[in-house]
Structure 1
């Protein structure tokens, strides 16, 4: 059945992003975290009351505050540029000239169309042009860009673009394989499907280099 609301929101129902950057208002950071939590708490209370929930119940009375804190401090914490991890770089003294691959980076993000979880893994690689970055910084950058309302295509591109800037090289690649609960738990309710996105820069656009990266991803690295 097609609902009227679906017809009025074709982009959201088809999980299409409309911007290469997260769509933020110019006043997005005018309020403090505490002010945002207080406002969101009231909004969550209103939603639950509208749904008919009894907020005097022990199980529910703290929910509005918990949800508000979770939104601001945790799952959407990556919206604020002050939360971006410091990506310290180092000179490649050991002259390592092959690609470096950090695979199976856990992703927890949120679909910006339905505010439901996106859960999956990212595989990131780069070829040094003279600069290297600490391994954990790659994981932290992925987590930073994931902690916001997102679309997977944008997330993939943001990871690559940020590492290109940090490492001063175009030779960066990222593949993400993730499940979207807006597909798995509602709508079509397909619990088996996942979404794969990829962004290849510089040498990774070449078939040989891209194939090498994809072969590394397939390696069984269970320890």
Structure 2
């Protein structure tokens, strides 16, 4: 079942556990509460009709205005090209996963060996950006599946992780999107995803906590079995 979507334009009334009180969470606080989100990345209708060239042009102009508002001197050699560099970076690199045309094509192979145990790709490095503050999230993803007939090229697992990471994200959604794509591509319910990440919106601003990490996990199909789940967790936590 698709998770319920919550509008970001109106205050959210939330009941406090064990207290019977209802508090109002204003839209600007949704990010820290991680409630104003959904399974799908929120994009407007027709978001990809505009060419990348046009997007870069528009973003460059907007970012130039931001820099000028901050009081920066764009006639300085060091800053003159920054608006265009940032615009290209947004469209062609760190947010390129927004555009469906960049979705990786998964190469599948017949499971000729009859291998029926888990396949694990661990320590997949990824870089993303917090959609609440637009600052980096970085960490490691660990992905496993049990084949029901097909196997996937190992590098394609990395590409799936990178595709969904290269967009404004929340870690919970990133975990779900990777798991759902693995299940869709491989036509297997037996998928597990664990993500350990650092959020610069926590370490470089706000609470300024440089030591904490955030973990999320999904265990579906056979990975819901405690023995299989434990085997997977032991594997990704090993140093061998």
Q: Give the match for residue 56 of structure 1.
A: 75
Shift of 1:14: 3.2
1:144–1:199 CA distance, 2 compared to 1 (3 A): same
Q: Which residue of 2 aligns with 1:207?
A: 226
CA distance in 1, matches of 2:127, 2:112: 34
Match of 2:96 in 1: 77
Q: Which residue of 1 aligns with 2:9?
A: none
Aligned to 1:152: 171
From 5, 9, 16, give the equivalent of 2:28.
9
Pairing 1:31-46 to 2, within 5 Å after superposition:
31-46=50-65
Please say which of residues 7-16 and 50-59 is displaced more in the overlay.
7-16
**After the TM superposition, which residues 111-190 of structure 1 pair with which residues of structure 2 at under 5 Å, given as runs?**
111-190=130-209
> What is the alpha-carbon distance in structure 2 between the residues aligned to residue 157 and residue 173 of structure 1?
10
TM-score (norm 1): 0.95
Please say if residues 112 and 150 of structure 1, whose CA atoms lie closer than 8 Å, have aligned partners that are also in contact: yes
How many residues matched?
Answer: 216
Q: What do residues 18-61 of structure 1 show as CA deviations (whole Å, max 9, x unaligned)?
A: 11100010020110000000000000000000000000000000
TM-score computed with the length of structure 2 as normaliser = 0.88
Displacement of 1:10: 1.5
Mark the CA change 1:179 to 1:16 in structure 2 (over 3 Å): closer, same or farther. Answer: farther
Q: Is the 8 A contact 1:110 1:150 kept in 2?
A: yes
Partner SS state of residue 113, structure 1: coil
1:172 Cα deviation from its structure 2 partner:
0.5
Query: Which structure is higher in RCO with an 8 Å CA cutoff and minimum separation 6?
Result: 1
SS at match of 1:59: helix
Q: Shift of residue 13 of structure 1? A: 3.1
How far the C-alpha of 1:153 sits from its partner, in A, is 0.3
Structure 1 spans left out of the alignment, 5+ residues: 1-5
Distance apart, 1:15 and its partner CA? 4.1
* SS of alignment partner, residue 79 of structure 2: coil
CA–CA distance in 2 between the matches of 1:167 and 1:13?
Answer: 34
Give the Cα separation in 2 of the matches to 1:136 and 1:37.
30
Work out the CA distance in 2 between the residues paired with 1:161 and 1:29: 23
Q: Shift in Å at residue 130 of structure 1?
A: 1.0
The 5 Å alignment of 1:187-202 reads 187-202=206-221
Instruction: Report the aligned-residue RMSD.
Output: 1.1
Question: How many angstroms does 1:8 deviate by?
Answer: 5.2
Cα pair distance change 1:214/1:133, threshold 3 Å: same
Q: Secondary structure at the match of 1:138?
A: helix
How far apart are the structure 2 equivalents of 1:212 and 1:39? 50
Distance in 2, matches of 1:59 and 1:187, equals 29
